[in-house]
Amino acid sequence: MNRTTVFFALVTCATLPLAAEKVHVDFDRACDFSHYQTYRWAGPPSTTFLNQLMQERVIGFVEEALAVKRLKRVEKGGDLLINLNMNVQQQERFTTFTDTTGPGWGWGWGSAISTTTVEPILLGTLTVDLVDSRRNQLVFQGVSTSSISAKPEKNSKRLAKAVNEIFEKYPPR
């Protein structure tokens, strides 16, 4: 295997975890989810990073996913209260490029120059809470973390995918 192939394999492995979307759910194992039929929003979403257009899209994605699960939205009452939260944090991605000359791999001569670049990336975490309105207790929580793009179309697709992956796991079996 030549050095170019090794280099590209390492760069690919280093960047894949950042591009991958991670979805985790947690739920009340003693809860009977079959009796939930209606929901209402607990309040406006806590999403200071998202503009109004993106907030409306995310709310639409959640409502579509809940409709697929046969939950109906009501203005008052409701079996479940839905809470939406979006947090954003900046992380740094380090990428190192190495240029070598001469036979390497332990031969003892040759030279190498390495350059490391630092690139800030934004990671967004979307949290969807489902709270039993009668007991005022969290019964299901879905959390999705993904990188944020500068392009709204990409962010819309990622958010739609995140919401769908969260609600694929609802109701828990």
Angle between helices 152-168 and 52-68 (to 10 degrees): 30
Residue 110 has what pLDDT?
Answer: 62
Residue 67 has what pLDDT?
Answer: 95
φ/ψ region of 29 (left if φ > 0, alpha if ψ in -120 to 50, else beta) reads: alpha
DSSP helix/strand/coil, 33: helix
pLDDT tens per residue across span 45-62: 777 777 888 889 999 999
Identify the segments of the chain with pLDDT beneath 70: 1-20, 100-111
Residue 7 has what pLDDT?
Answer: 41
Q: Give one DSSP letter per residue of 54-94, joined into a string.
A: HHHHHHHHHHHHHHHTT-EE-SS--SEEEEEEEEEEEEEEE
Specify the CATH number of the domain 3-102+119-168.
3.30.160
Q: What whole-number distance in Å separates Cα of residue 58 and Cα of residue 126?
A: 10
Residue 45 has what pLDDT?
Answer: 75
Residue 103 has what pLDDT?
Answer: 61
Residue 119 has what pLDDT?
Answer: 83
